[in-house]
Amino acid sequence: MDKILIIGACGQLGTELTLKLRDLKGQENVIASDLLDDPVDLLKDGPYEKLNILNKESFQIILEEHGINQVYHLAAILSAKGEQNPHFAWQLNMESLLTVLEAGKDKLNKIYWPSSIAVFGTDTPKINTPQNTIMSPSTVYGISKLAGERWCEYYHQKYGVDVRSLRYPGLIGYKALPGGGTTDYAVEIFHKAIAGEDYECFLSEDSMLPMMYMDDAVKATIDLMEAKQENVKVRSSYNIAAMSFSPVELAREIQKHYPAFNISYKSDFRQEIADSWPRSIDDSAARGDWGWQHSFDTKELVEVMIRNLKDTFVFD
């Protein structure tokens, strides 16, 4: 039986992934963990452990106590926040991955660790960015994800560790707020529109980036983890894609629901990061190897975000 530990479970992705895995595997088989004393409200019904993944001993104790055989390691400092404290971002993103990969040698039968479109950089082809191409990340976050990909492949080849990974684009969901990325505008904008407020976007109107609705990201993650070993041919990290849009295109789609919604643009340091990333992604390897398919395009994303956010909370 799978006994799963999710590290960084209270974040934007972790909240939704934990809920889905608990549905599929049983509440008691999915242990959420994060830095917080108590889990976020949505995760209160299942098992929770307070864990700082930089504390190796606490991690080992939790593995033993719960008989964990799978880890989803989501804790990281994202692209924008990473630039505020690059050395700490490197320490957290790298040390924690190596701790989990080491446990993969003898204690775990599968590990999931997410990478990002941030592994690409200014020299990378920007349209339909290939699976294998020039990678020249310019953020500490991107550098740590690229190094992490190499470590994942290394542990798979040298020690047979079954570690699997996806290069997510910007993730957009309504159940949890984003934690400090360059694509966060694409969540914030919905909260402002629904609150009847204007939105000042920190990227320029034409900053086209690859994006994905959270349900698709969660499905991709679980599909990859459930795929047969022989179908998982990329052991660094798979490109995956769903849609691409710019802030002005997203705003126009939102204005179909809220005609009075106004957006203005004032680029900050995140513009340079966005400018270094791909505009669209070629994910044919994931589609061919293990059958990845997305369900949500921009129009459906906007409909589902507005429908659900109207019933939940509003961004401050």
Identify the CA nearest to 213 among candidates 186, 235, 253, 239. 186
Nearer to ligand SER, 14 or 181 (CB): 181
- Vertex 151, ends 147 and 153: CA angle to 5°? 120
Give the residue numbers annotated as catalytic, written as ranges: 141
In the window 81-120, what residues touch ligand SER (CB under 6 A)? 116-118
> 79 is in the binding site of which of ligand SER, ligand NAD, none (Cβ under 5 to 8 A by kind)?
ligand SER
**Residue from the set 116, 165, 207, 221 that interacts with ligand NAD by CB under 6 A:** 116
Q: Does 12 bind ligand NAD (CB under 6 A)?
A: yes
273 vs 80, 81, 139, 189, 258, CA distance in Å?
A: 8, 12, 7, 19, 30
User: In this chain, which stretch among 50-58, 228-236, 245-253, 274-282 interacts with ligand NAD, using CB under 6 A?
Assistant: 50-58
Q: Does 86 bind ligand NAD (CB under 6 A)?
A: no
d(CA 230, CA 71): 20
**Residue from the set 51, 71, 161, 254 that interacts with ligand NAD by CB under 6 A:** 51
> 179 is in the binding site of which of ligand SER, ligand NAD, none (Cβ under 5 to 8 A by kind)?
ligand NAD
Which residues have a Cβ under 8 Å from the Cβ of 134 and sit 6 or more positions away?
A: 121, 123, 124, 125
Q: Does 181 bind ligand SER (CB under 6 A)?
A: yes
Classify residue 271 as exposed, middle or buried by CB count within 10 Å of its CB (0-12, 13-18, 19+): middle
In the window 51-80, what residues touch ligand SER (CB under 6 A)? 78-79
Q: Does 78 bind ligand NAD (CB under 6 A)?
A: yes
Binding mask 26-45 for ligand NAD (x = CB under 6 A): --------xx----------
Using CB under 6 A, count the residues that bind ligand SER. Answer: 10
> 76 is in the binding site of which of ligand NAD, ligand SER, none (Cβ under 5 to 8 A by kind)?
ligand NAD
Q: Which tokens is 312 given?
A: 């939940």
* 8 Å CB contact between 133 and 172: no
7 vs 97, 100, 311, CA distance in Å?
A: 11, 10, 28
Question: What is the three-state SS of 128-186?
Answer: CECCCCCCCCCCHHHHHHHHHHHHHHHHHHHHCCCEECEEECEEECCCCCCCCCCCCHH
Q: Does 182 bind ligand SER (CB under 6 A)?
A: yes
In the window 148-207, what residues touch ligand NAD (CB under 6 A)? 168, 170-171, 178-181, 183
Nearer to ligand NAD, 55 or 262 (CB): 55
User: In this chain, which stretch among 61-69, 181-189, 255-263, 286-294 interacts with ligand SER, using CB under 6 A?
Assistant: 181-189
CB crowding 209-218: b at 16 or more within 10 Å, else e:
bbbbbbbbbb
Binding site for ligand NAD (CB under 6 A): 7-8, 10-14, 34-35, 51-54, 74-76, 78, 92, 114, 116, 168, 170-171, 178-181, 183
Binding site for ligand SER (CB under 6 A): 78-79, 116-118, 141, 170, 181-183
